[in-house]
Chains A and B, each alone.
Chain A
């Protein structure tokens, strides 16, 4: 049955991706919820919460505020917090209750900006769409707003790198090392100034589908070319038929590097993977045609063949230890039949 999760946990939602894309940029981010959505994000979607400061808060939405449409309570909290934190921008991020009551986040952001003079954004996330969608919207909006005139053309700008796509901060650090002429990686290990200079990149590498909308915008406005995919080393070992399950760009890149492999995207297809599905029944059926499946350990109940565990935060929230580096194709190939 579609939409019924028997074995899998639900994957990271749009508000998680949206907040991840802004975490290190010095903005004040308010998830408009009662607390459960924010706790979800800080507990399982954001490994940097334990490691470095960020300004993602919960609005503390109450039933009466939701019923009465009391946007002033939300704006007031943001403005009071902004006085203390002096953020580079203010962003409101939606969740499921605001979706039901039809909160106008863009209007709230406009009013906030008028009253505070601080660039403000509203993202009507709803906890139903995928994190790739949420992060993609944020990266596009911030790029449109903050990138100015092009004055230089140097280095590679990585777009779409979120810790959600990896299994921890260490893995995200390793990904950056794949780009020797790295200019900045949005949004991991970067600040708002890096984003404001994004238009000065020579080229762009899109490492997850969340980076695509912003990459297309930068190419359209500044003529910066982009490539989609991870520059992974081609695996040397031959192996039987393999399925790689994950985010579209990541899964397709790994499948290509392994050879004799196909990708299955779980989140938001950019058209690279052979398959796209988040349905347990369908994934079980597709996986049955492969001897090897490279996927998060949560997929084990769906796989009859050889499962090579590759945990990602977007699926299992960092609860599994790494067994093999996601970027070490030879090490992964060694585990394939």
Chain B
């Protein structure tokens, strides 16, 4: 009883794990701060994650009351609360995000006048609205797609003196390649980063930056790479607004897709193609050795670990791993490479003694009750060959040091 679009049953919800909620993703914008404007319950999970992962000082909440909602009084309260947050903050943030929740979609609010008033009172602060509205997931872009788009939609226009001939575009582009669509910046040793650097470009992911100026610098970038489908709308928006070309590379795990992406990147940057054969051979060798070490222990992959579980399954299977199943909830919408006939939508959660299997992803771990778990969420920042090698290491670690979902949850306590 896991999916609400298969058979009209209620939806089973997994405990949230991984820390990358919509607020933390938005806080990838450097020097930003969030004011949630919502019923108190909507922001609880957000704030507790923030306490757990130590960024609560960047999140505040204006709790709406029933009276506020009925009277509309919260519109002015929002401005007052935002001003209090900005007055008290030291150093003052350069972006203030008014985050609203599902009821905002119902009330049809327009927050533009509030943002304008706040920016008038605090020049130098970019105030804009983001939405945490799971209720709209079937009536527009997926929430995480909309979030990425709205984050980059908040970029101010280029000042007139920096604008070029192409409408919205810069007079001069910087030698920068921007990664979007993901929560975590690619590792320095990732092959995409290596190619970018070898071509004399800077690799920029705002998550790895501490300066709001880097967010603004996105406007002048030479190329955008969307590492996951979540960035597709944002990439189009950046092209429309600032004329930045993009490569819709998605985090796939099969060597052929990785090779094509690296080729596309090299072509776009005029960089020489690295020795992909050697890279591929090394990755396959590592995977095969890991598969041997893991032996007969089966793997279960879930679609919160990666948006491309089928590609991962095929690659791991080819290396000799035994794949028990791929679990996917609402797969048709969130995991684009999944063949719906090949996935398992589980119907009953196991409370039986631990099953001797390795779960890749925490949904599989808790739902199947496995004794071994690889705690990754939407690739956890790993892509391409570097990602596959990193994953191999984590599978081996899970095999050697068994942990259930509950063990991992308890370890995360402060």
For residue B302, give the distance in angstroms from its CB to the closest CB of chain A: 16
**Interface membership of chain B positions 1-42, coded 1 if the CB is closer than 8 angstroms to chain A and 0 otherwise:** 100110111111111110000000000000000000011111
On whether the beta carbons of A50 and B102 are closer than 8 Å, the reply is no
C-alpha spacing A279/B338, complex, angstroms? 48
On whether the beta carbons of A317 and B48 are closer than 8 Å, the reply is yes
On whether the beta carbons of B44 and A5 are closer than 8 Å, the reply is no
For residue B2, give the distance in angstroms from its CB to the closest CB of chain A: 10
Question: Which residues of chain A are within 8 angstroms of B113 by Cβ–Cβ distance?
Answer: none
C-alpha spacing A128/B17, complex, angstroms? 24
C-alpha spacing A76/B8, complex, angstroms? 7
C-alpha spacing A316/B51, complex, angstroms? 9
Question: For the side of the interface on B, what is the size category?
Answer: 35 or more
With A96-B41, A319-B414, A321-B414 as given contacts, are A59 and B11 in contact (CB-CB < 8 Å)?
yes
C-alpha spacing A33/B39, complex, angstroms? 13
The reply to whether the CB of B266 lies closer than 8 angstroms to some CB of chain A is: no
The reply to whether the CB of A81 lies closer than 8 angstroms to some CB of chain B is: yes
Stretch in B60-68, B219-227, B271-279, B353-361 with 4+ CB within 8 Å of A: B60-68
Stretch in B77-85, B116-124, B305-313 with 4+ CB within 8 Å of A: B77-85
Question: Which residues of chain B are within 8 angstroms of A319 by Cβ–Cβ distance?
Answer: 48, 51-52, 412-414
Per a CB cutoff under 8 Å, which of B9, B63, B138, B413 touches A318? B413
Give residues 279-337 of A contacting B (CB, 8 Å): 297-298, 316-321
Per a CB cutoff under 8 Å, which of A9, A34, A35, A321 touches B413? A321
Stretch in A41-49, A202-210, A218-226 with 4+ CB within 8 Å of B: A41-49
The reply to whether the CB of A115 lies closer than 8 angstroms to some CB of chain B is: no
Stretch in B103-111, B235-243, B376-384, B390-398 with 4+ CB within 8 Å of A: B103-111
Question: Which residues of chain A are within 8 angstroms of B60 by Cβ–Cβ distance?
Answer: 4-6
The reply to whether the CB of B281 lies closer than 8 angstroms to some CB of chain A is: no
With A62-B139, A100-B107 as given contacts, are A10 and B47 in contact (CB-CB < 8 Å)?
yes
Per a CB cutoff under 8 Å, which of B15, B51, B351 touches A52? B351
The reply to whether the CB of A58 lies closer than 8 angstroms to some CB of chain B is: yes
For residue B385, give the distance in angstroms from its CB to the closest CB of chain A: 34
On whether the beta carbons of B1 and A84 are closer than 8 Å, the reply is yes
Question: Which residues of chain A are within 8 angstroms of B405 by Cβ–Cβ distance?
Answer: 50
With A4-B62, A60-B10, A128-B66 as given contacts, are A44 and B44 in contact (CB-CB < 8 Å)?
yes
By beta carbon, the residue of chain B nearest A45 is: B44
The reply to whether the CB of A117 lies closer than 8 angstroms to some CB of chain B is: no
C-alpha spacing A36/B63, complex, angstroms? 16
C-alpha spacing A12/B48, complex, angstroms? 11
On whether the beta carbons of A128 and B39 are closer than 8 Å, the reply is yes
The reply to whether the CB of A127 lies closer than 8 angstroms to some CB of chain B is: yes
The reply to whether the CB of B154 lies closer than 8 angstroms to some CB of chain A is: no
By beta carbon, the residue of chain B nearest A76 is: B8
On whether the beta carbons of A43 and B16 are closer than 8 Å, the reply is yes
With A1-B80, A77-B10 as given contacts, are A10 and B43 in contact (CB-CB < 8 Å)?
yes
Question: Which residues of chain B are within 8 angstroms of A36 by Cβ–Cβ distance?
Answer: 42, 45, 101-102, 132, 134
Give residues 113-143 of A contacting B (CB, 8 Å): 126-128
On whether the beta carbons of B13 and A57 are closer than 8 Å, the reply is yes
On whether the beta carbons of A53 and B15 are closer than 8 Å, the reply is no
The reply to whether the CB of B289 lies closer than 8 angstroms to some CB of chain A is: no
C-alpha spacing A287/B327, complex, angstroms? 50
For residue A304, give the distance in angstroms from its CB to the closest CB of chain B: 17
On whether the beta carbons of A42 and B61 are closer than 8 Å, the reply is no
Per a CB cutoff under 8 Å, which of A38, A81, A96 touches B13? A38
Give residues 336-364 of B contacting A (CB, 8 Å): 349, 351
The reply to whether the CB of B171 lies closer than 8 angstroms to some CB of chain A is: no
Question: Which residues of chain B are within 8 angstroms of A44 by Cβ–Cβ distance?
Answer: 44-45, 48
On whether the beta carbons of A100 and B44 are closer than 8 Å, the reply is no
On whether the beta carbons of B137 and A9 are closer than 8 Å, the reply is no
By beta carbon, the residue of chain A nearest B62 is: A4
By beta carbon, the residue of chain A nearest B81 is: A4
On whether the beta carbons of A1 and B81 are closer than 8 Å, the reply is yes
Question: Which residues of chain B are within 8 angstroms of A1 by Cβ–Cβ distance?
Answer: 80-81, 84
On whether the beta carbons of A128 and B64 are closer than 8 Å, the reply is yes
On whether the beta carbons of A128 and B65 are closer than 8 Å, the reply is yes
On whether the beta carbons of A40 and B41 are closer than 8 Å, the reply is yes
With A9-B51, A43-B15, A50-B409 as given contacts, are A59 and B10 in contact (CB-CB < 8 Å)?
yes
Give residues 250-268 of A contacting B (CB, 8 Å): none
C-alpha spacing A15/B8, complex, angstroms? 23
For residue B381, give the distance in angstroms from its CB to the closest CB of chain A: 22
For residue A313, give the distance in angstroms from its CB to the closest CB of chain B: 10
Question: Which residues of chain B are within 8 angstroms of A178 by Cβ–Cβ distance?
Answer: none
For residue B394, give the distance in angstroms from its CB to the closest CB of chain A: 22
For residue A17, give the distance in angstroms from its CB to the closest CB of chain B: 11
25 A-B residue contacts at CB 8 Å? A4-B85, A9-B56, A10-B44, A10-B63, A11-B40, A12-B44, A13-B40, A13-B41, A13-B44, A35-B134, A38-B13, A44-B45, A44-B48, A60-B10, A62-B138, A76-B8, A81-B9, A96-B42, A99-B103, A127-B40, A128-B39, A128-B64, A128-B65, A128-B66, A317-B48
| Apart from A1-B81, A35-B11, 17 more pairs, CB < 8 Å | A5-B43, A5-B47, A10-B47, A34-B134, A42-B13, A66-B135, A77-B10, A96-B101, A97-B106, A100-B69, A126-B66, A127-B39, A128-B40, A316-B48, A317-B44, A319-B51, A319-B413
Chain A interface residues (CB < 8 Å from chain B): 1, 3-16, 30, 33-44, 49-53, 57-64, 66-67, 73, 76-78, 80-81, 84, 95-97, 99-101, 126-128, 297-298, 316-321
